[in-house]
Structure 1
Amino acid sequence: MRAGATVILAHAGHAAGGFPATALVPVAAFWAYLAAALRLRDPGGPGWAHGRTASFGLGTLLVTAGLLRPADDFVGHMWQHLLIGMLAPLALILGAPVTLLLRTLDRRAGRRLVHLLRHPVARVLGHPVTGLLLTAGGLWLLYLTPLYRATLDRPVLHTLVQAHFLLSGCLFAWSIAGPDPGPHRPRVPVRLVVLGVGVAAHATIAQLLYAGVLVDVPATGAELRAGATLMYYLGDLAEIALALALLATWRPKRPAHRPAGSTPVSA
């Protein structure tokens, strides 16, 4: 009987340990977002677009799915990376959480937040190149060094890596096509070039993983090829979606209208 009780307790402990507490964070973030959105939709309020709420909700759902997805092998790990680091960030930033926060804060707190967004450090962090270095550079560091191997034995390090890719993915998506206010962004053609470099960087690391060349990933050849295929194709879909979000906000400047019959003044 003691043996049976021990088995039951061990099974219960395993089930409890199988649910990551971090999965509650995106759920709490969505409820906080929803409460703020509903506050703006009160009678007499300025209102808030349902599409933005749905987008942010989709982002938190993708993060939760990634955190709950088992990472028993390299394919499971890649699913986590794609959901948390590439697909969720675009949905989250299209929800315009900073704009929502500015509309619900009092005037003094709102001024402080705007001042923070205009700080020189924010200008550097908000540049697309910074986001590219953090996202693509983080991938190269993860797979070409012993870092990935270390995350397999250290749950805290694994959680920190997940947080890095979520935050850097949000930063990159926001710097490319974010609707929220922030530091002055480069022109759209420049952002498209940076995004193109990001596509090439992701494709290259995916090809290295597929071939098993230069990477430090303890996985079978079949797992490497399956994970690399996921990164190559689903990563492309995420980057195409980001490019479409950018182009949707592009408003090319029109040349100034000149009255009929007028001639340009020569120097």
Structure 2
Amino acid sequence: MGHDMIAMSGMPGMGGMAHDLAPWSVGRLLAVHPATSWFFLAVCVLAEAAYLTGWLRLVRRGDRWPVHRPIVWTAGILTVFLTTCTGTNEYGMVMFSVHMVQHMVLSMLSPILLLLGAPITLSLRALRPAPRGRRGPRELLVALLHSRYVRVISFPAVTIPLFVASLYGLYFTPLFDWLMRYGWGHTLMMVHFILVGLLFFWPIMGVDPGPHRPGYVMRILELFAGMPFHAFFGIAIMMSRSVMVHTFAHPAASLGVDALGDQHAAGGLAWAFSEIPSVIVLIALTSQWAKSERRVAKREDRKADRDGDAELNAYNAYLASLEARSQGRAQGSAS
């Protein structure tokens, strides 16, 4: 990647400067180079290490933990790494389409994969309880989950508008250009994408415990409540006849892209990307729903075995009494 860099120029960008980059390619987007985000690199390494440590603690203790959960968690960490610690982050500073890939992945794909890893459940099982009268990490986590703050920010009336506002409030106002002028602003934006995605999908996925656990039908409705706004956002960008954000108004000649054409590509990505996470979430919800129904059926079977189908026998007796009463009325009318 280093050989593809050209001299610095005075084009608008992070901190008022931007790199003149060679035309993008998959190899250049995925290449790790010195301009990587050290903040996100540290976050990815620490998050993966913490998860694997908790998993190994369960294994040593003899507890079962589904193998697919560490896999999807690691996949989620990998998506964060690839969008923030590679050339994608560099090109995302000068190309709207690449930035939109970052936004969509960090807000819609990474959170789903991370939540499927059930990190909260793993933490509650792996962390040791503190001695009586003290509060350790496990007790603090439980207190946080039951706090009023978490109940409010995880409520659908908050998560859905926040998820939608992260699109319209960012790109249809001067806020985006202002944040892109500073390195900390760009990092804060990426962190915001991840957190908003986690808050939006946490109650819907239902893998980890939380203050709001609606039924499966309500979860599906919550999932699709924000998708029309997401699709309209992408269409609005695709149909725009002028450049919306100043940051990407004058791409470097070395990129070989047209600002308006690149913006239309960004809108197409935003419009199409909602299908991928929707399918993943629906598959996960369907699987959870089926498992829940099987658990209920097994529980009812065990109960029937213990009491000899007392509930069914009582119901049959009730039906028999209704039938006998009806026959008695019919005989009385006939006489």
Normalised to the residue count of structure 2, the TM-score between the two structures is 0.68
Partner of 1:4: none
Question: CA–CA distance in 1 between the matches of 2:283 and 2:317?
Answer: 40
Question: 1:261 Cα deviation (Å)?
Answer: 4.6
Q: Mapping of 1:247-258 within 5 angstroms? A: 247-250=286-289, 251=292
* More deviation, 30-39/107-116: 107-116
Which residue type is aligned with residue 96 of structure 2? F
Question: CA–CA distance in 2 between the matches of 1:233 and 1:184?
Answer: 29
Identify if the C-alpha distance between structure 1 residues 207 and 21 changes in structure 2 by more than 3 Å, giving closer, same or farther.
Answer: same
User: What SS does the aligned partner of 2:274 have?
Assistant: helix
The answer to whether residue 329 in structure 2 is matched with residue 260 in structure 1 is: no
Q: What is the aligned-residue RMSD (CA, Å)?
A: 2.7
The answer to whether residue 243 in structure 2 is matched with residue 225 in structure 1 is: no
Partner of 2:228: 200
Residue 131 of structure 1 is aligned with which of 159, 163, 168? 159
- The answer (yes or no) to whether the contact 2:205–2:281 under 8 Å persists in 1 is yes
Question: 1:120 Cα deviation (Å)?
Answer: 2.4
Partner of 1:5: none
- The answer (yes or no) to whether the contact 1:65–1:83 under 8 Å persists in 2 is no
Sequence identity of aligned pairs in percent? Answer: 32
Question: 1:17 Cα deviation (Å)?
Answer: 5.3
User: What SS does the aligned partner of 1:183 have?
Assistant: coil
Question: 1:214 Cα deviation (Å)?
Answer: 9.4
Q: Deviations over 1:128-159 (max 9, x none)?
A: 33222222211111111011222332221111
Which residue type is aligned with residue 62 of structure 1? T
Partner of 1:75: 97
Partner of 2:273: 234
- The answer (yes or no) to whether the contact 1:123–1:184 under 8 Å persists in 2 is yes
Partner of 2:83: 66
Identify if the C-alpha distance between structure 1 residues 20 and 184 changes in structure 2 by more than 3 Å, giving closer, same or farther.
Answer: closer
Q: Deviations over 1:157-209 (max 9, x none)?
A: 11111101101101111111131111132232222222212111100111111
Question: CA–CA distance in 1 between the matches of 2:223 and 2:242?
Answer: 24
Partner of 1:89: 111
Which residue type is aligned with residue 51 of structure 2? Y
Partner of 2:306: none
Question: CA–CA distance in 1 between the matches of 2:206 and 2:193?
Answer: 17
Question: CA–CA distance in 2 between the matches of 1:169 and 1:137?
Answer: 12
The answer to whether residue 37 in structure 2 is matched with residue 20 in structure 1 is: yes
Radius of gyration: which is bigger? 2
The count of aligned residue pairs is: 252
The answer to whether residue 57 in structure 2 is matched with residue 39 in structure 1 is: yes
* More deviation, 83-92/24-33: 24-33
Q: Deviations over 1:4-34 (max 9, x none)?
A: xxxxxx9xxx997511112311122112211
- The answer (yes or no) to whether the contact 2:238–2:267 under 8 Å persists in 1 is yes
* More deviation, 68-77/147-156: 147-156
Question: 1:112 Cα deviation (Å)?
Answer: 3.5
| Residue ranges of structure 2 left out of the alignment (5+ in a row) | 1-7, 9-18, 20-31, 131-135, 249-258, 301-310, 323-335
Which residue type is aligned with residue 71 of structure 2? A
The answer to whether residue 282 in structure 2 is matched with residue 246 in structure 1 is: no
Question: 1:90 Cα deviation (Å)?
Answer: 0.2
User: What SS does the aligned partner of 1:49 have?
Assistant: coil
Question: CA–CA distance in 2 between the matches of 1:128 and 1:58?
Answer: 27
- The answer (yes or no) to whether the contact 1:36–1:100 under 8 Å persists in 2 is yes
Identify if the C-alpha distance between structure 1 residues 215 and 127 changes in structure 2 by more than 3 Å, giving closer, same or farther.
Answer: farther
| Residue ranges of structure 1 left out of the alignment (5+ in a row) | 1-9
Residue 120 of structure 1 is aligned with which of 144, 148, 161? 148
Which residue type is aligned with residue 32 of structure 1? A
Question: CA–CA distance in 1 between the matches of 2:195 and 2:266?
Answer: 22
* More deviation, 181-190/244-253: 244-253
